[in-house]
Amino acid sequence: MSDDCLFCKIVKREVESRFLFEDDICVVFKDIHPAAPVHLLIVPKKHIRSVNDLISEEESIVSHLFMVARDMAKEQGVDQSGYKLLFNVEKGGGQVIFHLHLHLIGGWKR
């Protein structure tokens, strides 16, 4: 964990957030600036700065994030209508908080 990382503080419950899901590997909560009707963040408890900082031993964490995203999409009712899964990588790729996290975005009416 990083002392100055917002997501580490959320994981440690030092910053208030309502978890929609939690297990030993990750937490899920709503994005405070949603880009869609459903916009969740799937955040590993382990501090990993970015996709660029992943090591092979963390492969199972990333896989787990995708499986949790799949389950959360179903729980949120967007699994059949469709959704996006997105990692922003580094500043040029839109990453604002430097703690790996997966966006689940969906719920648009088409």
Catalytic residues: 101
Separation CA 80–CA 82 (nearest Å):
5
Q: Which residue, among 48, 9, 44, has the nearest Cα to 27 in the 3D structure? A: 44
SS3 85: strand
Separation CA 104–CA 97 (nearest Å):
16
Cα distances from 100 to residues 30, 49, 76, 78, 81, in angstroms, run 15, 6, 22, 23, 26
